[in-house]
Amino acid sequence: GSLWYFIIRRTPLLNANYMNQKNMKALSNNNIIASRVCNMGIIKLNNPQSLNALNHDMVKTLLSLLPVWQSDETIRATLFMGCDVVNKQTKIKSVFCAGGDVKSIYRAGTQNLDEKHGFGFPNLLTSDFFRDEYTVNHIIASQSLAKPQISIWDGIVMGGGVGISVHGKYRVATENTLFAMPETGIGLFPDVGTMYYLSRLDGGLGCFIALTGARLKADDLIYAGIATHYVPSCRLKELQDALAMATDVCSDVTPATVNDCVGTVLDTFNEKIDLSTSQLLNKRNSIDSAFTIKPDKYLEDIIDTLKQIRSCAPNDFVNDTLKTIFKMSPTSLKVTLEGLKRAKKTTSIAQDLEMEFRMMQNFMKEESDFFEGVRAVLIDRSFNPKWNPVKISNLSENIVDGYFCNLGDHELVLSDAHEGESNLDSKL
């Protein structure tokens, strides 16, 4: 392992035989900094004012850049990372990506009411953003295991930030990592392919994370298998150098079609983490009892089970979980649970993302809980959303089923031709 420390060397940003600097800049924008070190392509998210949230221009940049790197046989790995953010106290705060730019989506859907949102029509941000974002998610999920993506989760990683990283082969957590899919709290659902991913976690973990928006730290992520490695933040620069050098050292030795050349480096830097503090581990019995996904389990059943657990003995975790659920959008909760059930039956991430696009378009319709949730949580910051309907009991399964209706000519269509099962299994 010490080899990496002594033979690190940085090549120029780009080699003229691969991709010149002018072309690299053409594929970048101010919020996405693309570079190349040795044979590793590096994406740095650079939108600090919004905690590196993904706007449409950033998504379109990734949509243009990633296929170029995937088709370039000299690129042996890709690395995703976030820029540091300076907070009001002038302290550096590590951030990977706080999600998608939902404020822009909100404005597009509320200020242009003469446009028909929610049906997948092109040239509307409420459809184009998600069509492009989900395509990027699929490109990442389909990337060859011989050309692995490594994502450095140093700081906040939520929503859309999860989508551009969790489908990659390696996800590195640090002591600063804070992971969540908080969409049910703004009248939405965990999207960007996480219906597929979460529905395949052990027991009730995925459903619990999806419905409650639970904030997870490194111990939870390693325990659940969501993060693949733990590296202290003080060693990230050293890790990045070692990863880059590994792509250079193996370029003339190992054919790119055989295996990746960074796994050994990550394993060398990986440190064992104390899992005894993991909330997922400590509350696993309650989580599995209430949240394990079954075809005949509904939201009311989850709530009843939690109440039964509480009736047997005082349980702060169950109390807090119930309080959280009752704060979320009833529509979001029921549609999310149904989405998890359906996602578990899909055979590819492509199928899942196509389903999620249908779901998302229904949430883009006028009077959707999404617009109310964003208003209350992110715009006015009053934190008093008026959900419609207010009560879970007022939401029939027929209404829920309507969120999965086919969009006809405006469907998202993705190919699963490059999604070999061995490829997907190795990432989960």
Residue 232 near residue 213 (C-beta atoms within 8 A): no
DSSP calls for 30-81? TTEEEEEETTEEEEEE--GGGTT-B-HHHHHHHHHHHHHHHH-TT--EEEEE
Tell me which residue of 160, 29, 168, 171 sits closest to 104, measured CA to CA: 160
Question: Which residues, in sequence order, are bridge partners of residue 156?
Answer: 95, 178
Residue 160 near residue 99 (C-beta atoms within 8 A): yes
Q: Among 191, 248, 369, 419, which one carries the catalytic annotation? A: 191
Residue 209 near residue 369 (C-beta atoms within 8 A): no
User: CA gyration radius for the chain?
Assistant: 21
Q: Among 41, 82, 99, 100, which one carries the catalytic annotation? A: 100
Cα torsion angle, 148, 174, 99, 49, sign: negative
Distance CA 309, CA 290 (A): 9
Q: Among 82, 99, 160, 213, which one carries the catalytic annotation? A: 160
- 417 Cβ neighbours under 8 A, 6+ residues apart: none
Map tokens 């003995």 to a residue.
Answer: 313
Instruction: Go through the chain and tell me how many residues it has.
Output: 428
Q: Strands 149-153 and 92-97: what pairing?
A: unpaired
Collapsing DSSP to helix, strand or coil, 170 comes out as strand
Tell me the two tokens of residue 190: 């965990």
Q: Among 101, 133, 183, 248, which one carries the catalytic annotation? A: 183
Secondary structure letter of residue 171 according to DSSP: E
Tell me the two tokens of residue 92: 């550096």
**Whether residue 204 lies in the annotated active site:** no
**Whether residue 160 lies in the annotated active site:** yes
Distance CA 147, CA 371 (A): 39
Alpha helices of 170-315 — where are they, by DSSP H?
A: 194-198, 205-212, 218-224, 236-249, 263-269, 279-282, 284-291, 299-312
Collapsing DSSP to helix, strand or coil, 418 comes out as coil
**Whether residue 100 lies in the annotated active site:** yes
Residue 303 near residue 364 (C-beta atoms within 8 A): no
**Whether residue 356 lies in the annotated active site:** no
- 244 Cβ neighbours under 8 A, 6+ residues apart: 8, 10, 37, 38, 39, 40
Active-site positions read 100, 160, 183, 191
